[in-house]
Amino acid sequence: MNRIEKVFQNLQKNNQKAFVPYIMAGDGGIDSLKEKITFLEKAGATAIEIGIPFSDPVADGPVIQQAGIRALKEGTTLKDVVAAVAEIRPIVHIPLLFMTYTNPMMAYGFEQFIKDIEASGIDGLIVPDMPIEQEELIVPYLEEAHIELIRLVTLQSPLSRIEEIAKRGKGFVYAVTVNGITGARSSFKEELGAHLKKVKELSPIPVLAGFGISFPDQVEEMITYCDGVIVGSKMIELFDKGDLQSIVDLIDASKIRASQL
């Protein structure tokens, strides 16, 4: 059983919610990746989404774009990130996921990329620009490697498509909470709660909300509708500022609220 499946089984058994932080590999230098991952695991993260720096990150807002640019200026390559994770994996017990785009995988070679991330200990893969109609480019290799492909649904996805996406795989569904790119939001549309509930009803696997979630009260609100949250841009900002306590506060918000549900 994949680590992602195991961790969500344990969360469900204990009536807990997931908190998945996003970090950009190579932002602050590739050597900082180990420090960030071990800190987040100790702080209580359920899993960690590791962004691969890319020159054309179509789903990402300004904060994550700038983090990727900084990482690229540091000379970070995809092979560097894979090698760094391989070194970290023996001391990290929670699931680790890569978030990347189709072009870097294609340039690397789909089959070789998945073989290498399997060897490094990656548990899941998120590819925002690869629709289900194209995922056969990688799914056979991922299934052989026991790596979960995490699929996204949006506010604009028809119910039939949400149902089709949700029934694939055994990891979780990434429910995008805004119409647009990543980035901190002060508020969300009123109909978001109803949308997340509907995705949850249609999905046989856990549903996590992501994009724009930035404050503890937003974490608390989102987990009333689904199985957890993913926080990206705010994580980048807080690590950049060295504000580790606020990161802990965000993670704790999911645990405190979950205990009240």
Per-residue pLDDT of the chain (261 residues; tens, 9 = 90+): 799 999 999 999 999 999 999 999 999 999 999 999 999 999 999 999 999 999 888 778 889 999 999 999 999 999 999 999 999 999 999 999 999 999 999 999 999 999 999 999 999 999 999 999 999 999 999 999 999 999 999 998 999 999 999 999 899 999 998 765 554 444 455 678 889 999 999 999 999 999 889 999 999 999 999 999 999 999 999 999 999 999 999 999 998 766 666
Residue 1 is predicted with a pLDDT of 76
> Exposed, middle or buried: residue 46 (CB in 10 Å: 0-12, 13-18, 19+)?
buried
CATH number attached to the domain at 3-258: 3.20.20.70
Q: For the chain, give every domain's residue range.
A: 3-258
- Dihedrals φ, ψ of 209, to 5°? -95, 140
Residue 56 is predicted with a pLDDT of 85
Residue 259 is predicted with a pLDDT of 66
Q: Could you give the residue numbers annotated as active site?
A: 49, 60
What pTM value is reported for the model? 0.94
C-alpha separations of 78 from 75, 163, 173, 217 in Å: 10, 33, 25, 35
Percent helix, percent strand, percent coil in the chain, to nearest 5: 50, 15, 40
- Report how far residue 46's alpha carbon sits from residue 230's, in angstroms, rounded to the nearest whole number: 10
- Report how far residue 79's alpha carbon sits from residue 9's, in angstroms, rounded to the nearest whole number: 32
- Dihedrals φ, ψ of 244, to 5°? -70, -30
Residue 61 tokens, joined: 């807002």
Give the strand pairing for 148-153 and 48-51: unpaired
Return the residue matching tokens 């009333």.
224
- Report how far residue 202's alpha carbon sits from residue 199's, in angstroms, rounded to the nearest whole number: 5
